[in-house]
Amino acid sequence: MADIASKKRKRASKTPELLRGFRDVIQEEAPYWQHVQASATDLLLDYSYSEIQLPILEATSLFKRTIGEHTDIVSKEMFTFEDQGGDSITLRPELTAGMVRAYIEHGMFNRPQPVKMYSIGPAFRYERPQAGRYRQFNQLSVELFGDAQPVADAEVIFISYLLCKQLGLDVTIHINSLGSSESREDYVQLLKEYIKPKRSLLCEDCKKRITKNPLRLLDCKEEACRALFIQAPLLVDNLDDESKKHFVAVLEHLDESEVPYELDPYIVRGLDYYNRTAFEIVASVTNDAVEGEEATVTNLIVGGGGRYDGLVEILGGRNTPAIGMAFGLERLVSAFKKTKSGISSEKKPQVFLAQLGEEAAKHAFTLFETLRSNNIRVRANFGKTGLKPQLELADKLGVVYTVILGQKELLDQTVIIRDMENGIQEVVDLTKIVDEIKKRLKKGR
């Protein structure tokens, strides 16, 4: 009895752990996230995409009606629950549905078209966690509403490619056309006829897909199923004329802008709302070599998207063509880290402020703020008093100068500037500290 009680107590006092499939981005990793997000938003603003911020919780029906009832996302992976008022709500599994809702809700069809937006934030899917797959992950979703022309598809793909290139990633766009919903229906019949005699050889999931979501048969990851579909009729060979023309024009744009792409007839995407162009961005990532072995290269799908011309109307808006894509930020950041491009040294601290003694400590905030507000990247540890630990810290941070404010200096209204490379120290007037530091930084030391 006593044993059980003590076990219970132990369990109760144990620090609760992260949920499976969830992760923290701790301080060492955050600069990579900031760099990737800043690169993305700078680029998107240049191409006239504005930010929209959306709630994480939405009505469950929003996702059922857009992503599709029979998709894996809606049928198996949503975090859905009833709120206190008895309404069914869902943690968004992606951002596009919310963006379409917002486009309609805010009457954005009355604005000059196209409306170009991006949004960044968490999405939730109850998937089996593994490397690069989480239950909470972050997406950067980029959407262009109100332009049916192939150039709009090409623009979204081009910008996605540019961002990857800017981050030093080696990527290829895998692209396909899903045609119109009518041509797809005809194709699905062909596919079903093809697979009927082979049904018993399919995996259990694919057997269900035949009736519920036949197109998804094509991107089953099971080897046995894949082998069966090598000979299958292809959607891209059964497109309606308009979709064919559209697809060729998109590819011509990509050729002209030198975007590397591969035709991939098996891309169908895991969401039901697409028509015509569908694509995925595949990064070739070099993993660190393990001792005695060569470095390996793996393919990572960092993003995906496509055209979804019917979606605004499905949710009750006007007939509005649209195209978009989303990056998975965990994957983009991880691929970026592996490029070893590093983060620009621009943001590295330049000066450390060390204070000695009680009086100096009281003045330290003011001096720190004088330096900071004059655009000098300064760091300090206001709780430390000894010189040695502060110089060690300054060294670790890699600053160029340490400004030392001591009791004597405070009385004289001076400070010491210590060159961290050679240890040479100079006494300067407290009132001239900003100019003195700037002068030295400009000289290169």
Binding stretches for ligand HAM (CB under 6 A)? 94, 96, 125, 127, 132-134, 137, 139, 141, 143, 270-271, 301-306, 308, 324-326, 328, 330-331
Q: CB-wise, 150 or 406, nearer to ligand HAM?
A: 150
Q: CB-wise, 21 or 349, nearer to ligand HAM?
A: 21
A 10 A CB-CB count for 180 gives 18
A 10 A CB-CB count for 136 gives 17
Burial of 357 (0-12, 13-18, 19+ CB in 10 A): middle
CB of 253 vs ligand HAM, minimal distance in Å: 18
Q: Is the peptide bond before 233 cis (omega within 30 degrees of 0)?
A: no
The single residue listed with the structure tokens 């998109």 is 250
User: β-pairing, 275-286 with 261-263?
Assistant: unpaired
Amino acid at 426: E
Q: Cβ(221)–Cβ(251) under 8 Å?
A: no
Q: CB-wise, 280 or 409, nearer to ligand HAM?
A: 280
- Closest residue (Cβ) to ligand HAM? 328
Q: CB-wise, 32 or 137, nearer to ligand HAM?
A: 137
Q: CB-wise, 89 or 322, nearer to ligand HAM?
A: 322
Q: CB-wise, 270 or 406, nearer to ligand HAM?
A: 270
CA triplet 312, 159, 276: central angle to 5 degrees? 45
CB of 292 vs ligand HAM, minimal distance in Å: 31
Orientation angle between helical segments 358-373 and 433-443, nearest 10 degrees? 60
Residues 6+ positions from 315 with CB-CB distance below 8 Å:
62, 65, 66, 100, 101, 104
CB of 207 vs ligand HAM, minimal distance in Å: 23
Q: CB-wise, 126 or 194, nearer to ligand HAM?
A: 126
CB of 178 vs ligand HAM, minimal distance in Å: 12
CB of 139 vs ligand HAM, minimal distance in Å: 5
Closest C-alpha to 263, from 273, 254, 272, 275: 254
Give the span between the Cα atoms of 422 and 9, in whole angstroms.
57
Q: CB-wise, 150 or 324, nearer to ligand HAM?
A: 324
User: Rg of the chain over CA atoms, in angstroms?
Assistant: 28
CB of 379 vs ligand HAM, minimal distance in Å: 34
The secondary structure of residue 219, as a DSSP letter, is G
Phi, psi of 24 (to 5 degrees): -100, 150
Give the span between the Cα atoms of 375 and 370, in whole angstroms.
9
**HSE-CB for 287 with a 13 A CA cutoff:** 10
The single residue listed with the structure tokens 């004329």 is 241
Write the CA distances from 226 to 80, 127, 179, 203, 221, integer angstroms.
32, 22, 22, 10, 7
CB of 373 vs ligand HAM, minimal distance in Å: 40
CB of 300 vs ligand HAM, minimal distance in Å: 8
The single residue listed with the structure tokens 């009132």 is 431
Q: CB-wise, 201 or 301, nearer to ligand HAM?
A: 301
Q: CB-wise, 114 or 304, nearer to ligand HAM?
A: 304
CB of 1 vs ligand HAM, minimal distance in Å: 44
CB of 236 vs ligand HAM, minimal distance in Å: 19
Q: Is the peptide bond before 112 cis (omega within 30 degrees of 0)?
A: no
CB of 378 vs ligand HAM, minimal distance in Å: 37
Q: CB-wise, 47 or 194, nearer to ligand HAM?
A: 47
DSSP 253-265: HHHHTT--EEE-T
